[in-house]
Amino acid sequence: MPFITVQIAKGHSIEKKRELVKALTDTLVATLGSKPEWITIHIDEFERENWAVGGQLHSDKHSGRHKEKGV
């Protein structure tokens, strides 16, 4: 019974989350032979201000970029 945790920044639409869990489920079914009802996926969302790359907060590095895209 596969259990997947996906960590993503907050702001993705419910439609994108549906696409994500469908794609992950389909991949596990095809790769592992699992039944879809055995697969659990947990989406863990975090604020961009709590994520840093290269010593710089993501919210500072890309301020405004994601709001414009709706991500």
Task: Give the catalytic positions in this structure.
Answer: 2
Rounded to a whole number, what is the distance in angstroms from the first to the last CA of the chain?
A: 31
Distance CA 59, CA 46 (A): 12
Distance CA 55, CA 22 (A): 34
Q: Structure tokens of 68? A: 């414009």
